[in-house]
């Protein structure tokens, strides 16, 4: 395992909200190993992370960054690097270091990394309305679909856990064809939305693409005296 890249970003834009945080640091972690399969997607889950401290003593908290898939939490990554070995590169987003800092004292933690394949699951939409989906590949990963029609539109939703990276995509199918949606969205990280024109055809199916682990490894990392850019 290696640190692939460290980048510190300072931004100033005229349209930013008063409390918008436009400064941060990203650390690219490369989880390299000898993987048995040839799948090109990886699912990474951060299990533990010690406080990240720069050489001035500032503790750098993890932070989300818009729609960039980043640790903490679960991340599904297709960004792969290969040299002697292969593995995904995952971004960790932290607060910016002190302007006087030149190094990070250490970066220590543990992550679970799985090589995954995508599998399609289909459910009768009417029968699944308001219920947690029952499937062996969804154990410990509750998904609750719902839908309603209003004003000439159909609004379909999925209730999902806050960490739902293993759900690659979803939609509705009728007569063997995926229905074209008007819009998609996400609310509060636990509700996913699709909007469709008109009423749904009879026999509509809910179609999920889920990431299924084929090989899982645990990485423990402990980098010290890390030079900052």
Residue 164: the pLDDT is 86
Residue 103: the pLDDT is 97
Residue 72: the pLDDT is 58
pLDDT greater than 60 at residue 16:
no
Residue 12: the pLDDT is 66
Q: How confident is the model at residue 37 (pLDDT cuts 50, 70, 90)?
A: confident
Q: How confident is the model at residue 163 (pLDDT cuts 50, 70, 90)?
A: confident
With contact defined as beta carbons under 8 Å apart, do 89 and 181 qualify? no
- List residues bridging with 42 in a β-sheet: 77, 115
Distance, CA of 45 to CA of 48 (rounded, Å): 9
The ranges assigned to domains in the chain are 2-117+214-227, 118-211
| 3-class secondary structure per residue, 168-187 | EEEEEEECCEECCCCEEEEE
> Can you tell me the mean pLDDT for 97-119?
94
Structure tokens at 169: 């995509």
Say how many residues make up the chain.
229
Residue 102 DSSP code: -
User: pLDDT tens for residues 177-190?
Assistant: 999 999 988 887 78
Q: How confident is the model at residue 18 (pLDDT cuts 50, 70, 90)?
A: low
Q: What is the DSSP string of 54-80?
A: ETTS-EE-B---TT--EESSEEEE--E
Residue 137: the pLDDT is 94
Structure tokens at 114: 């799985």
Q: How confident is the model at residue 91 (pLDDT cuts 50, 70, 90)?
A: confident
Distance, CA of 64 to CA of 162 (rounded, Å): 13
């Amino acid at each position: 395992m290696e640190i692939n890249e460290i980048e510190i970003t300072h931004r100033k834009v005229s349209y930013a909200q008063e409390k918008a945080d436009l400064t941060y640091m990203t650390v690219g972690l490369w989880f390299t190993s000898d993987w048995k399969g040839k799948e090109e997607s990886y699912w990474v889950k951060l299990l533990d992370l010690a406080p990240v401290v720069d050489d001035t003593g500032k503790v750098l908290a993890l932070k989300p960054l818009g729609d960039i898939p980043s640790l903490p939490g679960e991340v599904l990554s297709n960004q792969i690097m290969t040299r002697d070995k292969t593995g995904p590169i995952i971004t960790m987003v932290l607060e910016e270091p002190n302007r006087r800092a030149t190094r990070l004292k250490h970066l220590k933690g543990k992550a679970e990394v799985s090589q995954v394949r995508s599998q399609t699951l289909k459910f009768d939409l009417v029968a699944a309305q308001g219920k947690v989906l029952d499937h062996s590949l969804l154990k410990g990963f509750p998904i609750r679909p719902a839908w309603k029609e209003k004003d000439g539109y159909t609004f379909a939703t999925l209730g999902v856990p806050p960490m739902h990276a293993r759900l690659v995509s979803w939609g509705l199918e009728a007569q063997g064809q995926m229905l074209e949606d008007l819009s998609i969205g996400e609310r509060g990280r636990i509700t996913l939305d699709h909007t469709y024109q008109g009423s749904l055809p009879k026999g509509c199916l809910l179609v999920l693409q889920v990431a299924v682990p084929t090989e899982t490894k645990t990485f423990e990392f402990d980098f010290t005296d890390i030079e900052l850019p």
